[in-house]
Structures are given as C-alpha cells and as structure tokens.
Amino acid sequence: MALTFAATPRTHQQVAPRPRGRRGRAARRTLTGWAFAGPATLIVVGLSIFPAVWAFFISRTRWNGIAPARDVGWRNYERIATDPDAITAAKHTLLLTALFVPGSIVLGILIAVALNQKIRLIGFYRTCIFVPYVASAAATGILASFVFNPQFGAANEALRRLGLPAQQFLESPGQALLVICLIALWGEVGFTAVIYLAALQDIPRELIEAATVDGASRWRTFLHITLPELRPVTVFAAIWQTITAMQLFDLIYTTTRGGPMNSTQTIVYYIYELAFQTQRLGYGAAVAYLLFVVTMLLTVCVIWYSRRSGSEAF
C-alpha cells in the first residue's frame, strides 16, 4: 500500500498555529489531534506493528497453536537454509518475480503509449484493457483454469487453429508457473498501464515538440525524452509489482494450489500451508519473516538505486 509515497506534494501548507497560551492550550490541542488521528492509527498500528512483533516471538518457537509453545531460539531460521521445500518455493517466487515485474513494466509502457494516441475507439480500448484489473484474483484464477483447460479450454483451441500442438498448461509442471505469470500479467497490467498513461499525459508537450522541431525521429524522441521522464513511475511500478509478485496467493490458490508436483509452490503459499494446513506456526512465522526481510531489502535497493541515478520518486 505504498501508493502515495510517490506523491509527495511540492508545497506543504499548514494552518498557522494559534498563539500559544498556557500549557492547557497545548494539552487541548494534543487531545484534539489524537481525537482525529487516534482511532485510525490505533487500528492500523494495532493490527500490524503489534502482530509483527508477536510474529517474531512465535518464529522462535515450535508451536502447533494448541500445546504450549517451546522456545527453540534461531533454529527455525537455520532450518530454512536446509529445507528443500523452502528453497524450491523461494526459487519459484524469484522466478515469478523476475518474469512478472519486467513483464508488467514493459507491457504497461507499451499499452500506455498505445492508449495515449488520439484515435477512434480509444475509450473502448481503455475500458477493455482495464476491466480485468477490477476482477478479483480468485475469480481470475477460476476463469483461467477454464480457459487453460487442456481438453476443452479456449487456449488449446486457439493453438489448434494456428496449427500448433496442444499443451497441458496448468497441469504440466514445466508450464504451470509460466501460465500463472501470464494470468497475473493479464489481471494486473491494467494498473501499470494506467499509471504510465497518467505519467505520459504529464510530460510537458513542449519537450516533445522541441525534440520534433530539432529533427528527432519519433523513436528517438521516445527513447531520449519520454522514457527518462517515465523513470519515477518505473521506480514506483517496480516496487509495487515486486510486492504484488512476491505476495501472489489468490491466483495460485484458485488454479494449482501449489501443484502439479509442487511446481507452483511459492513462499507465500508455503507459509499458508505451514501455518494453516499443517499447524506449524513457529516455522511458518520464520519463513514469513524471511519474506518480509527480502521484500524490504529489495524495496530499499530499488529506492537506493533510483536515488543514486537521480530519478527519485520517493
């Protein structure tokens, strides 16, 4: 939910503070402030910081939720390194992220550029491309398992018409993760397309016109003017989509549930299984902490890189 980080306003306007009177007035002001901000703060912080700290203590225990928890120190964390299931899940998560993030950025830019043209039917195109984003990942997953059904699905029918061999898609260990990535792109690219579209419309027209007057081709203008102008959005999109990819759950749950033969088992799905299917709460929490740390490191890296290269979005 980091959406508005990006939107740091240029001007901070503040109501001029009322003249400070006695101490009573300051106390009153603090009370008013907390009356406004308190309830929401309490809910947000209470439902995240507190559980996050608690999760850390759980992650250092061996616990099934019923019998008393047994303290095991760092053993859960040590075990992750030698747990073949965790390593496989991590590999799948990384592969998914490595495919999904660049995919949604490149596709997002391409679609946004196309949707930014002043041509007929543009409103219709925008609607079509954005609608899948509104559908839930659960519904998308169910729909996808229909479309990619090896026997009667539309995907194989399309391949057949093109004279290509039928595929197993979600039922093949070699293809399932790729198909899930494609479905995720289908469902999420509307988001990147729209934020790129907004950014494109924000680029000062004079910049493009100046380049055209100077005799730059459209492609060169795109490469040297448009793309650099889109960099802050790209930083934001990269972070946002990384978080989306690393936390992808609904789609996997409603298509393959980690199968076939664990080929779509990701870290998030593994955590769900550990904690809520096999009741290994301590170990599940440890794996979840690892996910947290990796997500945070990736985010920090992207921000650091973008600061260094001077395209700060944050």
Instruction: Output the DSSP codes for 67-124.
Output: SPPEE-TTHHHHHHHH-HHHHHHHHHHHHHHHHHHHHHHHHHHHHHHHHTS--TTHHH
Q: Which is nearer to another protein, 2 or 207 (CB)?
A: 2
Chain residues 36-55 in contact with another protein, contact rule CB under 8 A: 36-41, 43-45, 47-52, 54-55
Three-state DSSP class for residue 153: coil
- Shorter beta-carbon distance to another protein: residue 255 or 263: 255
Give me the 58-97 binding string for another protein, x by CB under 8 A, dash otherwise: x------x--------------------------------
Q: How far is the CB of 229 from another protein (least distance, A)?
A: 11
C-alpha–C-alpha distance, residues 284 and 278, integer Å: 10
Span 266-285, contacts to another protein by CB under 8 A? 268, 271-272, 275-276, 281, 284-285
CB proximity list for 130: less than 8 A, separation 6 or greater: 190, 193, 194
Residue with Cβ nearer another protein (118 or 308): 118
Please report, for residues 47, 56, 70, the alpha-carbon distance to residue 53 in angstroms, rounded to integers and kept in the order given: 11, 5, 18
Q: Please, which residue, 13 or 214, has the CB nearer to another protein?
A: 13
**Alpha-carbon span 252 to 144, nearest angstrom:** 11
Which one, 8 or 309, has the nearer CB to another protein? 8
Largest CA distance in the chain: 84
Q: Which is nearer to another protein, 58 or 211 (CB)?
A: 58
The pair phi, psi for residue 117, each rounded to 5°, is: -80, 150
Near another protein in 203-242, by CB under 8 A: 232-233, 236
- Interaction between residue 202 and another protein (CB under 8 A): yes
171 contributes a contact to another protein by CB under 8 A: no
Q: How many residues bind another protein (CB under 8 A)?
A: 114
Q: Which of 98, 179, 63, 184 is nearest to 135 (CA)?
A: 184
Find where tokens 């289908």 sit.
Answer: 186
Q: Which is nearer to another protein, 82 or 117 (CB)?
A: 117
The backbone region for 99, taken as left when phi is positive above 0, alpha when psi lies in -120 to 50, beta otherwise, is alpha
Q: Tell me how far apart the alpha carbons of residues 250 and 139 are, in angstroms, rounded to a whole number.
A: 9
Which one of 8, 64, 217, 278 is in contact with another protein (CB under 8 A)?
8
Closest separation in Å from C-beta 3 to another protein: 5
Q: Which is nearer to another protein, 9 or 214 (CB)?
A: 9
User: In Å, what is the CA distance from 276 to each residue of 49, 50, 77, 90?
Assistant: 21, 20, 19, 19
Shortest spacing between CB 224 and another protein, in angstroms:
21
Nearest distance, CB of residue 99 and another protein, angstroms: 18
Q: Are 297 and 218 in contact (CB under 8 A)?
A: no
Q: Would you count residue 174 as binding another protein (CB under 8 A)?
A: no
Q: Which of residues 106-165 bind another protein (CB under 8 A)?
A: 111, 114-115, 117-121, 124-132, 134-139, 142-147, 151-154, 157, 160
- Distance in Å, CB of 98 to another protein, minimum: 19
- Cα dihedral: 158, 159, 161, 162 (round 10): 120
Nearest-approach distance from CB 161 to another protein, in angstroms: 9
